């Protein structure tokens, strides 16, 4: 059987993937899986594809074609040097480069491909994509929607019907789709988007911000120089990417301009808050599209089972935060967001070729890690606020930094208490370590402390606190933080299990499976009236789930039963605390395990 490669032919970037040992892998060239979707000619008239073409695009726009995907299906031509090309021909050059990449990696010719297109592409645009594939020497065995590909990457064979929301924010386009998967068939229920919104706009906002600052200081507008603009665009994109993991970054470019014969440097610090203020209006637009897609699909947030993030720009922490707030559940970004679509295309290719394809394996952190800080809890100031730094489901290794500030003038030290868990109140999470940073400078309240967490593949957590003003730093290393946490949960759960069912030697008789009391007993009419409708609904669903799970515990093997019981304890605690977010998150976990155990 011929191998079928999967291609994500993107507006900004493209990738090619294949199935290897039953799993999708994206193929790299020189260690880079991404091929910028840019075609150009060098000064000697030789063809450039990818990074080399992108690098020259600002300086030689007449010899470069970018974002050709926007023109697919149109009866137009683009000029490259002194020649005219159709959009299909330019796309064919990109596809041929990906085909060659696959042939080099695999060591044999490749003839067939699955290519992805946006869900909103018309028949004409799909036909143009197919034609481009054929011009590149590929038989296009199927054109599939990008959100469909993302869904296939996450789970090609869900056991039950699932509704997924796919939020795809790339370099130049945004779309949000709602997909329903049932018995291996993915149906797109609704899709909305903005074909001119993406990470490039974030770069533009940051570029304007740094240029405005420079102009105020030196009276020179750097946007007017093509060379300075081109250098800065690259610098701000790097800064933007850094701000996804760091709380502050520096944009430093030497000799960016000249005044009265004196060279001027750019050296500007930008912090995440400043950056988030710049992009917030753009993200608000994406939420409007999300609302439209939800209303087209006639669905409420709680009818969506999973939220998948696709597209490089979804690495922005604010995207995670806004979406999980809006949809009331954690988002899934375990699979590299800019590679997920190509992987899904390869999965589809594998399914067509009759290859057995399993889920992508990624090491993730199963729980959120963060520190205790002063903040608002249920409308009151509290010193037990859990401030998340590394969110659950983040692929490992992971490093993140956040900024905190001292609360009082002349504060000499700060206690850094590191917790793991999902509750906004640290008292319901697990303390994994603590230390104090002492000898802080004598400064008014608001002295900035950077807290950095580095979690490696073996669960070793390094926590560093540093004072920004002086560079004073302290750190602590916590071995196997995640593992210890899991083990502690497990031992506690086994103890609780023995309390309920007795030990193997000394079993306790099991009743008829009806639970005597549930946390929802607390949901008497009087208190229920004070709950918000969504919280009330979450508690009711969780209660039904607990009843179902308790019946399953009795028949499960001891290890699974211990896991389930540990989760039920957490779920009851979340219900007692009226923490809607935690109820939903833990309910999802319980549902997954219940489904799995029911299948056994």
**So which residues are the catalytic ones?**
8, 69, 146, 168
| Min CB(377)–ligand AMP separation in Å | 30
Q: Which alpha helices (H) appear in 268-384, and where do they start and end?
A: 272-296, 317-327, 340-353
Q: Which is nearer to ligand AMP, 24 or 519 (CB)?
A: 24
312 binds ligand AMP (CB under 6 A): yes
| Min CB(110)–ligand AMP separation in Å | 22
Name which of 10, 131, 112 is nearest 73 in CA terms: 131
Q: Per CB under 6 A, which of residues 362..381 are in contact with ligand AMP?
A: none
579 binds ligand AMP (CB under 6 A): no
201 binds ligand AMP (CB under 6 A): no
57 binds ligand AMP (CB under 6 A): no
320 binds ligand AMP (CB under 6 A): no
- Answer for which of 177, 244, 368, 420 binds ligand AMP (CB under 6 A) is 244
| Min CB(93)–ligand AMP separation in Å | 18
Q: Which is nearer to ligand AMP, 311 or 370 (CB)?
A: 311
| Min CB(319)–ligand AMP separation in Å | 9
Task: Determine the angle formed by the axes of helices 199-218 and 272-296, rounding to 10 degrees.
Answer: 150
- Strands in 151-229 per DSSP E: 162-169, 174-182, 185-194
313 binds ligand AMP (CB under 6 A): yes
Name the segment binding ligand AMP (CB under 6 A); options: 9-17, 92-100, 538-546, 560-568: 9-17
Name the segment binding ligand AMP (CB under 6 A); options: 94-102, 153-161, 309-317, 506-514: 309-317
Contacts within 8 Å (CB) and 24+ apart, 231-240: 231/256, 232/207, 232/256, 232/266, 233/58, 233/203, 233/207, 235/266, 236/203, 236/206, 236/207, 236/210, 237/199, 237/203, 239/206, 239/270, 240/199, 240/202, 240/203, 240/206, 240/275, 240/316
| Min CB(298)–ligand AMP separation in Å | 29
240 binds ligand AMP (CB under 6 A): yes
| Min CB(172)–ligand AMP separation in Å | 7
Site map (CB under 6 A) of ligand AMP, residues 11-50, x = contact: -xx-------------------------------------
Q: Which is nearer to ligand AMP, 331 or 583 (CB)?
A: 331
6 binds ligand AMP (CB under 6 A): no
170 binds ligand AMP (CB under 6 A): yes
Name the segment binding ligand AMP (CB under 6 A); options: 117-125, 237-245, 399-407, 582-590: 237-245
Name the segment binding ligand AMP (CB under 6 A); options: 61-69, 192-200, 254-262, 271-279: 192-200
Query: Strand 112-117 relative to strand 4-9: parallel, antiparallel, unpaired?
Result: parallel
Name the segment binding ligand AMP (CB under 6 A); options: 238-246, 459-467, 516-524, 568-576: 238-246
Nearest-CB residue to ligand AMP?
199
Q: Residue 468 phi/psi, 5° resolution?
A: -65, -40
Name which of 453, 454, 415, 458 is nearest 437 in CA terms: 415
Query: Whole-angstrom Cα distance, residue 17 to residue 29?
Result: 12
Query: Whole-angstrom Cα distance, residue 294 to residue 300?
Result: 7
Query: Strand 174-182 relative to strand 185-194: parallel, antiparallel, unpaired?
Result: antiparallel
Name which of 329, 379, 366, 308 is nearest 581 in CA terms: 329
218 binds ligand AMP (CB under 6 A): no
| Min CB(233)–ligand AMP separation in Å | 10
Q: Which is nearer to ligand AMP, 334 or 422 (CB)?
A: 334
Q: Which is nearer to ligand AMP, 164 or 313 (CB)?
A: 313
Query: Whole-angstrom Cα distance, residue 204 to residue 211?
Result: 10
Query: Whole-angstrom Cα distance, residue 211 to residue 206?
Result: 8
Tell me which DSSP letter residue 220 carries.
-
SS3 118: coil
With a CB cutoff of 8 Å and minimum separation 6, the contacts of 83 are: none
Q: Which is nearer to ligand AMP, 372 or 402 (CB)?
A: 402
380-390: strand order across its sheet? 380-390, 369-377, 413-420, 430-438
| CA 512 from centre of chain | 44
Name the segment binding ligand AMP (CB under 6 A); options: 177-185, 233-241, 356-364, 567-575: 233-241
234 binds ligand AMP (CB under 6 A): no
SS3 387: strand
| Min CB(496)–ligand AMP separation in Å | 41
Q: Which is nearer to ligand AMP, 231 or 240 (CB)?
A: 240
200 binds ligand AMP (CB under 6 A): yes
- What residues are paired with 176 via a beta bridge? 167, 192
- Answer for which of 40, 311, 330, 344 binds ligand AMP (CB under 6 A) is 311
Q: How far apart are the first and last CA of the chain?
A: 34
- Cβ atoms of 412 and 440 within 8 Å: the answer is yes
Q: Tokens 């330019």 label which residue?
A: 90
Q: C-alpha distances in angstroms, 6 versus 347, 360, 539?
A: 8, 15, 43
315 binds ligand AMP (CB under 6 A): yes
| Min CB(27)–ligand AMP separation in Å | 15
- Answer for which of 103, 127, 237, 560 binds ligand AMP (CB under 6 A) is 237
Tell me which DSSP letter residue 338 carries.
T
39-41: strand order across its sheet? 47-49, 39-41, 64-65
Site map (CB under 6 A) of ligand AMP, residues 326-365, x = contact: ------------x---------------------------
Q: What is the dihedral of CA 54, 349, 141, 69, to 10 degrees?
A: -20
| Min CB(230)–ligand AMP separation in Å | 15
Using CB under 6 A as the criterion, which residues of the chain lie in contact with ligand AMP when the complex forms?
10, 12-13, 170-171, 198-200, 237, 240-241, 244, 311-313, 315-316, 338
């Amino acid at each position: 059987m011929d191998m079928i490669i999967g291609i994500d032919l993107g507006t900004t970037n493209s990738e090619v993937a294949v199935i290897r040992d039953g799993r999708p892998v994206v193929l790299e060239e020189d260690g880079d899986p991404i091929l910028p979707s840019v075609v150009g000619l060098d000064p000697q008239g030789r063809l450039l594809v990818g990074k080399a073409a992108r690098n020259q695009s600002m300086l030689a726009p007449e010899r470069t074609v970018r974002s050709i995907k926007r023109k697919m299906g149109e009866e137009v031509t683009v000029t490259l040097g002194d020649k005219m090309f159709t959009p299909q021909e330019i796309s064919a050059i990109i596809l041929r480069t990906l085909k060659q990449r696959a042939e080099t990696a695999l060591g044999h010719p490749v003839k067939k491909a699955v290519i992805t297109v946006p869900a909103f592409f018309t028949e004409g645009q799909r036909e143009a994509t197919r034609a481009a594939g054929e011009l590149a020497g590929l038989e296009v065995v199927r054109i599939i929607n990008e959100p469909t590909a993302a869904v296939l990457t996450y789970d090609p064979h869900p056991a039950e019907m699932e509704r997924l929301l796919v939020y795809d924010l790339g370099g130049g386009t945004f779309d949000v789709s709602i997909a329903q998967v049932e018995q291996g068939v993915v149906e797109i229920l609704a899709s909305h988007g903005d074909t001119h919104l993406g990470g490039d706009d974030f770069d533009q906002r940051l570029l304007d911000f740094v240029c405005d600052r420079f102009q105020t200081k030196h009276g020179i507008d750097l946007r007017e120089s093509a060379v300075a603009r081109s250098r800065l665009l690259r610098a701000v994109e790097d800064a933007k990417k850094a701000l996804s993991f760091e709380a502050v970054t520096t944009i430093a470019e030497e000799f960016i301009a000249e005044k009265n014969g004196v060279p001027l440097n750019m050296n500007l610090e930008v912090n995440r808050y400043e950056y988030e203020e710049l992009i917030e209006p753009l993200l608000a637009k994406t939420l409007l599209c999300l609302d439209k897609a939800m209303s087209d699909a006639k669905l409420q947030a709680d009818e969506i089972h999973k939220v998948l993030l696709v597209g490089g720009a979804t690495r922005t922490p604010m995207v995670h935060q806004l979406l999980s707030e809006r949809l009331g559940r954690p988002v899934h970004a375990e699979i590299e967001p800019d590679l997920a679509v190509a992987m899904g295309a390869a999965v589809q290719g594998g399914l067509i070729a009759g290859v057995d394809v399993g889920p992508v394996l990624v090491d993730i952190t199963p729980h959120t890690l963060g520190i205790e800080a002063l903040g608002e809890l249920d409308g009151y100031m509290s010193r037990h606020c859990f401030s998340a730094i590394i969110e659950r489901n983040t692929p490992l290794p992971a490093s993140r930094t956040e900024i905190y500030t001292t609360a009082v003038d002349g504060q000499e030290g700060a206690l850094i208490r590191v917790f793991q868990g999902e509750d906004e109140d640290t008292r319901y999470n697990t303390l994994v370590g603590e230390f104090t940073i002492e000898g802080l400078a004598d400064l008014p309240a608001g002295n900035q402390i950077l807290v950095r967490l580095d979690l490696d593949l073996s669960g070793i957590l390094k926590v560093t606190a540093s004072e920004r003003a002086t560079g004073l730093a302290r750190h602590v290393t916590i071995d196997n933080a995640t593992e210890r946490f899991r083990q502690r949960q497990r031992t506690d759960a086994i103890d609780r299990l023995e309390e309920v069912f007795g030990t193997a030697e000394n079993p306790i008789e099991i009743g008829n499976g009806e639970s005597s009391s549930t946390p929802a007993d607390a949901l008497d009419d009087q208190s229920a009236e004070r709950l918000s409708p969504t919280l009330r609904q979450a508690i009711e669903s969780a209660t039904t789930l607990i009843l179902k799970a308790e019946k399953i515990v009795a028949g499960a093997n001891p290890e699974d039963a211990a896991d389930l019981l540990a989760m039920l304890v957490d779920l009851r605690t979340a219900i007692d605390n009226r923490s809607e977010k935690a109820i939903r998150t833990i309910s999802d976990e319980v549902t997954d395990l219940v489904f799995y155990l029911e299948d056994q």
